């Protein structure tokens, strides 16, 4: 039982250690350099493996008046 607990902790910690977190920031603009509200952005790697995972998020910035 102790062996299983140690093995579980080892794999749990190694998974957390090697996970990646990337944050994209910026503004999507049209041809007149006006910010676009409700724009969708998809970032994906050049090479996609079977284990790749994607997440879609949406933020909206109200237009300043």
Q: Where are the domains of the chain?
A: 22-65
With a cut of 80, say whether residue 20 has pLDDT above it.
no
Distance of CA 25 to the CA centre of its chain: 11
With a cut of 60, say whether residue 44 has pLDDT above it.
yes
Q: What is the pLDDT of residue 14?
A: 62
Reading the block at residue 22, the tokens are 């990337």
Q: What is the pLDDT of residue 33?
A: 93
Q: Whole-model pTM?
A: 0.37
Instruction: Express each pLDDT in 25-36 by its tens digit.
Output: 888 899 999 998
Q: Which of 50, 49, 59 is nearest to 26 (CA)?
A: 59
Q: What is the pLDDT of residue 32?
A: 95
- From CA 27, how far away is CA 44, in angstroms rounded? 18
Based on C-alpha coordinates, what's the Rg of the chain? 20
What is the 8-class DSSP label of residue 35? B
């Amino acid at each position: 039982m102790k062996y299983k607990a140690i093995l579980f902790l080892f794999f749990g910690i190694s998974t957390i250690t090697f996970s990646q977190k990337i944050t994209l920031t910026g503004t999507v603009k049209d041809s007149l350099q006006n910010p676009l509200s409700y724009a969708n952005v998809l970032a994906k790697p050049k090479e996609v493996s079977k284990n790749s995972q994607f997440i879609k998020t949406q933020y909206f910035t109200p237009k300043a008046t």
